[in-house]
């Protein structure tokens, strides 16, 4: 009988806390909260669009949406998400289907974790 190993994919996401603190200092806490909340909505939309474009096999849309996603992610300090979005766009530009499938899967995982951690940060012990 064949044994199948289940591999857990657990990758840490990096958030530039200094960038978030800078936004709060510049705008004040209430305005910064509104701006970051709006950015999270746009990030979630760009993430969905990028994944959908990948599933539909539309390289132009993948590149455009991944570029928007990476720019938004950098603006709010989601470093890991920005990097993975850039990787997805590069795979689409090269038309490397195997790499695109793998990086799009990673983008979904990292994107969901990044948005969750920024929206609902874990409690500090």
Instruction: Specify the pLDDT at position 89.
Output: 97
Q: Is the pLDDT of residue 3 over 90?
A: no
Is 17 exposed, middle or buried, given 0-12, 13-18 or 19+ CB atoms closer than 10 A? exposed
**Domain limits, the chain:** 26-119
Give the pLDDT of residue 80: 96
Q: Would you call 28 helix, strand, or coil by DSSP?
A: coil
Q: Is 61 a residue whose pLDDT tops 90?
A: yes
> What predicted TM-score, i.e. pTM, was given to this entire model?
0.85
User: What H or E segment, with its residue span, contains residue 82?
Assistant: helix 79-94
Task: Name which of 73, 105, 101 is nearest 86 in CA terms.
Answer: 73
78 — phi, psi (to 5°)?
-90, 80
Range from 5-14, 17-26, 57-66 carrying the lowest mean pLDDT: 5-14
Helix (H, G, I), strand (E, B) or coil at 124: coil
Q: Which two tokens stand for residue 58?
A: 């539309």
């Amino acid at each position: 009988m064949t044994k199948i190993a289940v591999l857990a994919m657990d990758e840490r996401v990096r958030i530039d806390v200094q960038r978030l603190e800078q936004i709060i200092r510049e705008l004040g806490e209430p305005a910064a909260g509104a701006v970051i909340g709006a950015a999270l909505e746009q990030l979630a939309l760009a993430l969905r669009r990028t994944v959908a474009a990948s599933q539909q096999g539309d390289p132009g849309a993948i590149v455009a949406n991944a570029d928007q996603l990476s720019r938004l992610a950098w603006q709010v300090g989601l470093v890991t998400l920005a990097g993975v979005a850039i990787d997805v766009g590069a795979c689409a530009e090269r038309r490397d289907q195997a790499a695109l499938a793998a990086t799009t899967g990673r983008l979904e995982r990292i994107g969901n974790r990044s948005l969750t951690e920024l929206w609902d940060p874990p409690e500090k012990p």
